[in-house]
A = this chain, B = another copy of it.
Amino acid sequence: MNAQPQATPRQSTPWHVVIIGGGFAGLWATRALARAPVRVSLVDRGNHHLFQPLLYQVATAGLSAPDIAAPLRHILRGQRNVTVLMGDVVAIDTAGKTLRFAEGEALGDSTLDHGTLSYDLLLIASGSTHAYFGHDGWALDAPGLKTLDDALEIRRRILTAFERAEAEADPVARAAWLTFAVVGGGPTGVELAGTLAEIARHTLRGEFRRIDPASARILLLEAGKRVLSTFPESLSHKARASLQRLGVEVRTGVAVTSIDAQGVVLGDNESIAARTVLWAAGVAASPLARSLEVPLDRVGRVFVAPDLSVPGHPGIFVAGDLATVRGENGKPVPGVAPAAKQMGTHVARAIRARLAGKPAPAFRYRDHGNLATIGRRAGVVDLGRLRLSGALAWWFWLAAHIFFLIGFRNRLVVLIDWAWAYWSYRRNARIIVGNTRESGTPR
């Protein structure tokens, strides 16, 4: 089964397509291969597909983890040409057309085929991770938000900070527990800061005896000139105003130069005591791209060919956050869910074309617009000609997100949770779990 893919497949066994990553790109590619004459193996480190646009709601205790995730093998149970495997791919041998999994028996390993899996065609859709711009040590004190584990860790830190403030007798130490710094003014940072402000001002009201949670200081720190820089300037200004109305201190044009357990340092000498720092400032591509030994862009993404294959490796495709590709307008395709879905679907189309001996079409990104939410009844929507802000944008955002959430039950329960949260300002997932998580050392 290690023959080169040919223009006209004449093999008795179908080609084996391996897809790494069960995010939007990988899952959409898998589904689009449902009727293709191939065997598909979908490999993911976890067991679930995650609806990442709502991850901040898990981090801020509005939703529980299973509300926004579904087991991959459950989603794909009806697609008979797919095998779902949980495993951690650590290297790609392009010459031998083989993947290598993590060694030993730690969770996430696979003993499958003695730790390897061979492929005929490969799609790498392992996405991105946090980037600390060379300051990897910051990860400990400023967790980022990519996985469910990250979200539960951030939730634990936010809820614990208020608990520690309540138990703290010293006013200076207490103020540091009640100061939250969100680094990065993109959609995730804006969502986190806005929701944090709501939690402090509304959700926790009347529940503490020694502190006033509404006195919490929430800072949104952005190195660039404005928040939501991928949106038109007018919407950035509206988002900033919405955040300020919620009580968030928005600071733009400030560079974070140091982060530790006590807080952040801005520029040369402005030190802010904040026991909770959240990182929403940068992403880097999955390190798996490096084993391809092809040119990568500044953040480690693969420059792909127009059909999303890897130049020099016609049997390997890259899709989603790991690929760097330009849309028809010449601008880079953004790292958002709709783009990942479109790329995944395109790779399936390219594979089917190759099976049929036809040339693969070029990927065309269809930009359906850009949404962000800020807090209760505040959001911004950019659909090109149509721009919305405020409550209308929020309702648009809500409808779009519930519509796209996978699985009937999830949609219903999320809707109930939100309706309840909306009327009562309550957040139903305010439960601290996982006190002993290794990577987020308690402080």
Contact = CB atoms under 8 A, between A and B. Distances in A.
Interface string A403-423: 000000110110011001000
A390 to B, nearest CB: 28
A152 B432 contact: no
Interface stretch (A167-175, A264-272, A302-310, A316-324): A167-175
A67 B64 contact: yes
A208 interface: yes
A82 B210 CA distance: 11
Nearest to A409: B420
Contacts of A106: 442
B168 A112 contact: yes
A215 interface: no
Contacts of A66: 61, 64, 428-431
Contacts of A107: 156, 160, 435, 442
Contacts of A103: none
A87 interface: yes
A443 interface: yes
A71 B430 contact: yes
Given A106-B442, A169-B111, A435-B107, A206 B64 contact: no
B108 A206 contact: no
A262 to B, nearest CB: 11
A417 to B, nearest CB: 7
A363 to B, nearest CB: 30
A429 B148 CA distance: 13
B409 A416 contact: yes
Contacts of A112: 167-169
B64 A443 contact: no
Contacts of A82: 209
Contacts of A65: 64-65, 429, 431, 433
A434 B113 CA distance: 27
A48 B430 CA distance: 8
A83 B206 CA distance: 11
A85 interface: yes
Q: Which among A156, A208, A409, A410 has the highest number of chain B CB atoms within 10 Å? A: A409
Interface string A133-160: 0000000000000001100100010011
A297 interface: no
Q: Which among A113, A208, A428 has the highest number of chain B CB atoms within 10 Å? A: A428
B207 A170 contact: no
A209 B433 contact: no
Contacts of A149: 433-436
A225 interface: no
Q: Which among A46, A167, A430 has the highest number of chain B CB atoms within 10 Å? A: A167
9 contacts: A66-B430, A74-B430, A77-B206, A84-B166, A86-B166, A106-B442, A111-B164, A114-B169, A409-B416
Interface of A: 46-48, 61, 64-67, 69, 71, 73-74, 77-78, 82-87, 105-108, 110-114, 148-149, 152, 156, 159-160, 163-164, 166-170, 173, 206-210, 409-410, 412-413, 416-417, 420, 426, 428-439, 442-443
- Which 6 residue pairs of A and B lie closest in terms of their CB atoms, listed nearest first? A107-B442, A66-B429, A64-B64, A86-B163, A110-B167, A112-B167
Given A87-B167, A114-B169, A409-B416, 6 more contacts: A84-B209, A85-B166, A149-B435, A410-B428, A413-B413, A434-B437
